[in-house]
């Protein structure tokens, strides 16, 4: 896909017709529009050819679901031929009790004959327009290295490691492992909510995503049941040379050990890797059974912030909570954050923070006791593991005049993201 963006992407001739759901005329007589029922076979064939065979199944699940539907998908057509496609999913990112409506672009593919014409750029524009219309204040995604930075995405949230299991725990055998059923969704969601409760930033599965995961073929959902009660749940890759156990959640450590033993029994030769969720019931229960290798490569989720002021405005309750918890009183003094090309003032009032006010460039935010954050590091500052203190040490264009204030406002954060596709 990266090669397909090179060369002609900046010369794309686009004539927009109002609204993300309208028709977009592209160069060379191509047209971008919402997908139609008659397109489904071609979309499936294109996704299978350019991605994985399972992608066609996943696309059918999404567009057939009442929470998404065909309006979630766009295509570029050459006459009646579908030559490129993308789908936008509804998500929710939660941070410190604040729920942020979010979008996630998935199932992107372009016919090899049509690469290099800026079709993905046009589809990403469509996705972002649709995302804005749906009230999303951020977009999150897993993507190939660097490519999506071309569309305003930046790396922000660490992806946890997949670690080798070097021994199996002695399970007590009180639970029975079985494939999950639709009736298990409330129990699985409750277990995941409990597992995510200890993280600062989370993205849970949507109700629609739970339904899709039960039917798609790229991964399997399992539950551990005891006395007609679901006591643990997990998601695995299909049995192969080595299984991956992800999204594990359990009621207690005994259930966690039985879950690991039960899933390992499904794997050829018992070879299994687990995605480590530090601080959770399963993470604690499996500590002695996994090989804690040092991280060799950086792996992160992308975050895109389409409107900085809108996002900061949504986060005002969280910022106020952080200030009051730390006992910092700045009543009557604005909090100033500069992204150098623009700046954002947050008035500090007696009982809370006022609405964010956007202003022009401030090249030296220290002169107004503010913080400077390059725009491509803002997502990492707001959602990532480094915080203001950590980013200041590694990024020359992230700094603050009042270290105590901005380290309180932007602390290091832990995160747990549940996405439609496993990032492994």
Residues 6+ apart with CB under 8 A from 337: 312, 343, 344, 346, 365, 370, 371, 373
Q: Give residue-wise pLDDT tens across range 106-147.
A: 999 999 999 999 999 999 999 999 999 999 999 999 988 999
The tens digit of pLDDT for each residue in 279-309 reads 999 999 999 999 988 888 899 999 999 999 9
Q: What pLDDT is attached to residue 295? A: 83
String of DSSP letters for 99-117? EEEEEEEEEEEE-GGGTTS
What is d(CA 16, CA 30) in angstroms, rounded to the nearest whole number? 13
- Is residue 271 a contact partner of residue 243, using CB atoms and an 8 Å limit? yes
CB atoms within 10 A of CB 314: 17
Give percent of the chain with pLDDT exceeding 70.
95
Quick one: CA torsion of 64, 65, 69, 74, rounded to 10 degrees?
Answer: -70
Q: Write out the DSSP string of 362-408.
A: -S-GGGGT-EEE-GGGHHHHHHSSSHHHHHHHH-TTEEESSHHHHHH
Which residues of the chain fall below pLDDT 70?
1-21, 171, 241
pTM of the model: 0.92
Provide the pLDDT for residue 9.
34
Length of the chain: 424
Answer yes or no: are the C-beta atoms of 82 and 42 closer than 8 Å.
Answer: yes
């Amino acid at each position: 896909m990266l090669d397909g963006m090179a060369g002609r992407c900046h010369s794309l001739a686009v004539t927009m017709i109002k609204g993300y759901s309208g028709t977009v005329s592209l160069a060379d007589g191509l047209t971008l529009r919402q997908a139609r029922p008659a397109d489904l076979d071609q979309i499936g064939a294109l996704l299978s050819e350019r991605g994985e065979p399972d992608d066609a199944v996943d696309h059918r699940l999404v567009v057939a679901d009442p929470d998404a539907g065909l309006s979630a998908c766009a295509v570029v057509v050459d006459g009646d031929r579908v030559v490129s496609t993308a789908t936008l999913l509804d998500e929710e990112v939660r941070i410190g009790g604040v729920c942020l409506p979010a979008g996630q672009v998935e199932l992107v593919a372009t016919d090899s004959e049509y690469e290099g014409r800026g079709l993905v750029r046009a589809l990403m524009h469509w996705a972002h327009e649709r995302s804005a219309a749906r009230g999303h204040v951020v977009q999150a995604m897993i993507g190939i290295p660097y490519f999506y930075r071309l569309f305003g995405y930046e790396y922000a949230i660490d992806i946890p490691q997949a670690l080798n299991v070097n021994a199996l725990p002695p399970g007590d055998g009180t639970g029975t492992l079985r494939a999950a059923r639709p009736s298990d969704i409330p129990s699985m969601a409750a277990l995941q909510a409990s597992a995510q409760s200890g993280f600062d930033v989370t993205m849970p599965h949507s109700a629609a995503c739970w339904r899709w995961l039960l039917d798609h073929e790229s991964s399997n959902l399992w539950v551990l049941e005891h006395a007609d009660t679901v006591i643990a749940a997990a998601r695995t890759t299909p049995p192969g040379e080595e299984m991956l156990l992800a999204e594990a959640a359990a009621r207690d450590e005994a259930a966690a050990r039985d879950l690991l033993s039960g899933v390992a029994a499904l794997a050829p030769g018992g070879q299994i890797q687990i995605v480590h969720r530090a601080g959770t019931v399963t993470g604690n229960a499996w500590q002695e059974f996994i090989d804690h290798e040092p991280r060799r490569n950086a792996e992160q989720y992308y975050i895109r912030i389409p409107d900085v002021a809108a996002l900061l405005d949504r986060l005002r309750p969280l910022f106020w909570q952080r200030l009051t918890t730390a006992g910092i009183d700045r009543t009557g003094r604005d909090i100033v954050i500069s992204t150098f090309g623009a700046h954002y003032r947050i008035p500090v009032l007696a009982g809370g923070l006022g609405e964010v006010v956007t202003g022009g460039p401030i090249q030296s935010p220290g002169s107004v006791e503010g913080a400077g954050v390059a725009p491509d590091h803002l997502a990492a500052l707001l959602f990532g593991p480094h915080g203001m203190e950590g980013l200041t040490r590694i990024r020359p264009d992230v700094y603050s005049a009042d270290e105590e204030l901005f380290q309180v406002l932007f602390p290091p954060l832990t995160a747990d993201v549940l996405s439609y596709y496993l990032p492994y």
